[in-house]
A = this chain, B = another copy of it.
Amino acid sequence: MQNNIRVGIVGYGNLARGAELALARTPDMDLVAIFSRRDGVTSESGTPVHSVAELQDFRDKIDILILCGGSANDLMTQAADFGRYFHVIDSFDNHAEIEAHFQTMQRVASQANKVAFISYGWDPGLFSLLRLVNTAALPQGKNYTFWGRGISQGHSNALRRLPGVADAKQYTVPKEQYLEQLRNGSAADISAQESHLRQCYVVLEDGADPAQVSESIRNLPDYFQGYEVEIHFLSQEELERDHSGMPHGGFVIRSGETAPGERALIEYRLQLDSNPNFTAGVIVAYARAAMRMAAEGKSGCFTIFDVPPAYLLPQTPEDIRHLL
């Protein structure tokens, strides 16, 4: 009987709570401790919560850390710091910075004789895996990614920073008409701007002018400018009642040809009631794979592209082959 994998969680936001939930249902893994930068945090599962400053004391008690901080400020630093002492896995999702993060973690983890798994979840993560496998299976073709319908944290935050906005949620919605065009093989080049609708649910501050707020939303560069935007004003009560979930999902589509005029379509779709809880489930499965690769003597940085799929499940190779 193999020992259970001993896991630590760093951070205690939505993703960390998802990991806590997933680990509670994972018989071959034990959640040892949660590490937070805040004081007075108690965990839902009763798992001990420690300060991140105490991490060093757990070097012999924890095999792998699931890093649940944000990509903007936390993950690159935390991975580089803690990756010197632990195997680590993160959900780093700033696509433009992934290569820099990879290079750092390749150096850190190799020197420490640890594995660092970066950018796990669904995008990057499962969507990346599908983009790669689809590209290989159907070389003459084109990849399309659609996001939603789901809450975009970044766009919701951008709305909340605007003058006159008390609170807000933003749903990214893929346009069905473009999905249908792709499925029918009639779509040419579609930009992300064309193919997504942005639905804004906005609570105004007292006395704010709806017309002026609408104007400033529509003209916000990078976030809303150039997109079809829907703006709904509502009360704080309505926002909390109807829009407190964290649904998300999306589509990875490859459309191509196996011979001239002979079409092939590959479509992958996620529809998730809870984005953080699903993301956490993916990370927990890949944390298991990380320990398999570490047990093989591997070290360095590994993305989802480097992991043999069989390592994701705890069953024996023969049992897993029943899924063939």
The residue that A18 contacts in the complex, of B99, B129, B258, with Cβ under 8 A, is B258
Q: Which residues of chain B are near A95, meaning CB under 8 Å? A: 324
Q: Is A229 an interface residue (CB 8 A)?
A: no
Q: Chain A: interface residue count, which band?
A: 35 or more
Q: Which residues of chain B are near A139, meaning CB under 8 Å? A: 22, 25-26, 281, 285
Q: How many copies does the complex hold?
A: 2
Q: Is A140 an interface residue (CB 8 A)?
A: yes
Q: Which residues of chain B are near A138, meaning CB under 8 Å? A: 278, 281
Of listed A98, A278, A282, A307, residue having the most chain B CB within 10 A: A278
The residue that A321 contacts in the complex, of B263, B305, B324, with Cβ under 8 A, is B305
Q: How far is the CA of A202 from the CA of B85 in the complex (A)?
A: 68
The answer to whether A305 and B320 have CB atoms under 8 Å apart is yes
Q: Is A234 an interface residue (CB 8 A)?
A: no
Q: How far is the CA of A130 from the CA of B129 in the complex (A)?
A: 10
The residue that A277 contacts in the complex, of B258, B269, B278, with Cβ under 8 A, is B258
The answer to whether residues A310 and B318 also contact, given A270-B265, A270-B266 and a CB cut-off of 8 A, is no
Interface residues of A (CB under 8 A from B): 18, 21-22, 25-26, 95, 98-99, 102, 119, 124, 126, 128-133, 135-140, 143, 183, 258-259, 262-274, 277-278, 280-282, 285, 303-310, 312-313, 317-318, 320-321, 323-324
